[in-house]
Amino acid sequence: MNEARMIACHECDLLQWRASLFERSIARCQRCDAALYRSLPATYDRALALTLAAGILFAVANCFPIIGLWVKGALVETTLLDAVCSLYADGMWPIAGLVLVTTILMPALNIVAVIYLLLPLHIGGSPQRPEIVLRILRHVAPWGMIEVLMLAMLVALVKLQHFATVVPGVAIWAFGAVMVLLAAAAVSFNPRDIWARIDGVPGGDAASRTPKASVNAATAARAGLFACHDCGLVSKPLAHFRGGICPRCSAVLHLRKPNSLARTWAFLLAAMVLYIPAVLLPVMITSTLFSSQSDTILSGVVFLWTSGSWVLATIVFVASIVVPMLKILSLAYLAWSTQLRSSLMPRKRTRIYRWVECVGRWSMLDIYVITILVALVQFGSVATIDAGPGAIAFGAVVVLTMFAALSFDPRLIWDAVELDGE
């Protein structure tokens, strides 16, 4: 078999031949149904145009106010960066850092990386060291959460109506446009084409450095081959070296993620411990001239429901309470069944892992809502909103469960199936 025409599934490690696809179709794994690669037209110019537009609007979104409040004839406004600074000034630096990274730094890095890759192609050249930028792009993608921020702005608009007249700012429309443009650019941008160009560079042909595998080997691991998670190349390790270095993108390779289950359990147990204070402790403290009220995540859902915003109440309840709990239970089930080397329902367990990896980001909804409210509702003795200790615990739960999902290696599920079939 020629690894230049082979691909190993990143979820079950099955070796498969690359096949020609119809335009805009997806190749899926024969065993676990994971998406292997897409066939897209080489629309670099379209992806570049969309990303450049997103970059300009992203700058606008961070320079102009997201929401304003009319209070006693004066307009109180805040930008996203001002909201982050308000949290930091209140001593909530963990939440401030989390919001800064997921709504400003990571989306900006994503935009810059795509422009860096596509602009030289547009003018007829090639980007320098594209393999490094493509690797960065892959690791940055899960942490950019513009779409979650947009939903949080809608929830904040509903809550702020009870304090004063709400005025949507320029930034809220700009962020909405950025979300749409980045989604459209992602459809037009195919990293596989960039990797193909890298392979075509003289002296950098990955095909010349790949060995032949046994025809009887069903998986890359059984064939003694490494499948790179960053670029997808299947390659052979160096002699007398337990690990490997990808000959195409220089990523460190392992047959399986090192200490996958141990790291998954560590992140998961920490998330379980912090989930209790995240739910029970107040995430937001509202102080007025007459009283002070502490709101937990659940009381915030009740507030939206009783105020008539049933749809938003349901969304917040699912994103902030149901999803984190299901993520913890699902990851615990996956880690436990894999540790027992169970061969039952591997396909369904892989789908559970896929779901957990996909929905993890949406639990950040409440964190973003609190960020906006804290920045806007600061009216001295009349009314103020501050972030509570539960917000830090909840933010930690979201991050820890995302790290747990990233640490888990779904290929371990299928290893047990192979052993059971021997």
E-strand stretches of 120-170: 165-168
pLDDT of residue 402: 93
Spell out a b/e string for 345-378, using b for 16 or more CB atoms within 10 Å of the CB, else e: ebeebbbbbbebbebbbbbbbbbbbbbbbbbbbb
Residue 393's pLDDT is 93
Q: Is the pLDDT of residue 420 over 60?
A: no
Average pLDDT over every residue of 53-81: 88
Predicted pLDDT at 101: 95
pLDDT at 37: 80
Q: Which of 43-52, 146-155, 326-335 has the highest mean pLDDT?
A: 326-335
In sequence order, the β-bridge partners of residue 294 are: 285
% of the chain at pLDDT higher than 90: 32
State how far the Cα of 313 lies from the Cα of 365, in Å rounded to an integer.
12
For the segment 319-361, what is each residue's pLDDT rounded down to a tens digit? 888 889 999 999 999 999 999 998 889 999 999 999 998 888 8
CB atoms within 10 A of CB 39: 15
**Residue 174, Cβ neighbours under 10 Å: how many?**
21
pLDDT interval class at 204 (50, 70, 90): very low
What is the structure's pLDDT at 352?
94
Retrieve residue 313's tokens: 């109440």
**pLDDT of 231-253, one tens digit each?**
778 887 765 555 678 887 778 88
Q: Which region among 193-202, 276-285, 397-406 has the lowest average model confidence (pLDDT)?
A: 193-202
Given a cut of 50, whether residue 108 has pLDDT beyond it is yes
Identify the band that residue 109 occupies on the pLDDT scale cut at 50, 70 and 90: very high
What pTM value is reported for the model? 0.86
Which CATH number describes the domain made up of 257-422? 1.20.140
Q: What is the pLDDT of residue 2?
A: 40
> Partners of 295 in the beta sheet?
284
Token pair listed for 373: 């409210």
Residue with the bigger pLDDT between 56 and 305: it is 56
Between the alpha carbon of residue 279 and those of residues 92, 186, 245, 293, the distances in Å are 18, 35, 43, 16
How confident is the model over 252-304, as pLDDT tens digits? Answer: 888 888 899 999 999 999 999 999 999 889 888 876 655 667 778 888 888 77
Q: Is the pLDDT assigned to residue 401 strictly greater than 90?
A: yes
At 351 the pLDDT is 93
Q: Binning pLDDT at 50, 70 and 90, where does residue 57 land? A: very high
Six-digit token pair at 152?
Answer: 């949080």
Structure tokens at 380: 């001295």
Residue 208's pLDDT band (boundaries 50, 70, 90)? Answer: very low
